[in-house]
Amino acid sequence: MGGNEIQWMSALELIDAYVSKQLSPVEVTDALLERIERINPDINAIVTLTADAAREQARTSERAYAEGKAGRLEGVPITIKDLIPVKGVRTTFGSKLFEDYVPEADAVLVERIKEAGGVILGKTNVPEFGLVAVTDNSVFGPTWNPWDKKKTVGGSSGGAAAGLAAGLSPLAVGNDGGGSIRIPAALCGVAGLKPQFGRVPSWPHAVHGWETMNHEGPMARTVSDAALLLNVMAGRDERDRFSLQDSPTNYLRVVEGNVQGLRVAFTSDLAAVTVDPEVADIAKRAALSFSEIGCDVELDDPGILDMSGDLATLVIAETGAAHEHHLEEAAEKMFPPYRPFLELSSVFTARDLARVGFHREDIWEKLWPFFETYDALLTPTTICPAFDLKPGGMISPEVVNGVEVGPANWIAYTFPFNFTGQPAMSIPCGLTATGLPVGLQIVGRRFDESTVLRLAAAFERAHPWRDKHPV
């Protein structure tokens, strides 16, 4: 097989090719490293390449197949977001404060990927500390969207999504504190799952913050590949006190199930936030098409309050607290748009933070009865497609559908489900008239990644997207 074929193969297809000896892990790794060398300079998705370590692991994987000892990801290339520690590999968090930081321990999920035989190609770009949903920072600069290299990839797992869309790797790991997996997945036309909070352990924490909001999760070009990676990463670990007990679920088998009789609701009016009409129309048509694969589809809305202010309160307060011991250095080195966070954090009171917790309760009081009626909620993932990026300070679109929006408003469809912890996934559901991807978000009941993945896979079978490539 040629390199042009390899770059678009799924992880599961690669594993089959390794088993049948049609391909070798070394051949695939070399092909993708060559592609990264050609494509990555234009999009800046991978910011720290680990080519030597990748080739060494690929050779180890070849021996594992020869000896019948292959792990679940043996020989499959994967990238790791630069907010997630990899032992011995520079991990900057997109910040000048950590420009030369080299972790002494792997994140739990990285340990599991290595044990499963995954070939780590490198670290992917992020906004500094993942604070906003536009991937740009003072260390590496912006990541550009492979579908239109003037536009943003979203964030904060922006490099991960761009790398998948550009054929640089079949798998990527992201994390999601307010939409950071789902937003770039939507803007880049790939699949991204935020599992139930605690499903994938999150440890260690070199930088404090997002403790009750962050979800580690898989990103891929196919739903089955995302399920495969979730199988590897999920499960209890004592180092993360929020991690859930091991689940008996095999997520890879779940995607094969049918969706007959499931009840789903669609809204493009969540928290009354404006949505680009074309995005709303594409997402609505995708949602209504679930009736063609056996679902009962309703137009309904849970009526939750707008928690944009609560998200801003939490992010700003935690940012100030996380850097209070080196405020002068942080004020000097942090990405300019975030520097006001340091001063603003002192404005908030204990009551303000308590009120965030109260509002979390309020939205759950709306959502749990809604999910007694419906198996899933469908929404547009973002309120607009990818927008033109002005490097060095832009952290959100300025206007959508004639309405001024801010950093929290434009991600209003994703962050509520970080507050509740429910599983939610973005999948590609169409292209705008100018050829930009649109994402459909599928939100499930608590602990029910299975239904989310089953619905996503059923839609993927009915409306295949994997042959649509930007480059």
Unique residue bearing structure tokens 């309904």: 300
Which value, to the nearest 10 degrees, does the dihedral of the CA atoms of residues 253, 259, 260, 266 take?
A: 170
Of 385, 403, 176, 387, nearest to 395 (Cα)?
A: 387
Query: CA 148 → CA 42, 86, 415, distances in Å?
Result: 11, 31, 26
Contacts of 463 (CB under 8 A, 6+ apart): 286, 289, 429
Unique residue bearing structure tokens 């202010």: 309
Query: CA 77 → CA 82, 173, 202, 264, distances in Å?
Result: 16, 11, 22, 35
What is 418-443 written as a DSSP string?
HHH---EEEEEEEE-TTS-EEEEEEE
Contact 157, 186 (CB under 8 A): no
The tokens of 388 are what?
Answer: 């033109």
343: three-class secondary structure by DSSP: helix
Contact 195, 215 (CB under 8 A): yes
359: three-class secondary structure by DSSP: helix
Query: Count of CB atoms within 10 A of residue 245's CB?
Result: 8
The tokens of 202 are what?
Answer: 């999150």
The tokens of 326 are what?
Answer: 């080196």
Active site residues: 81, 156, 180
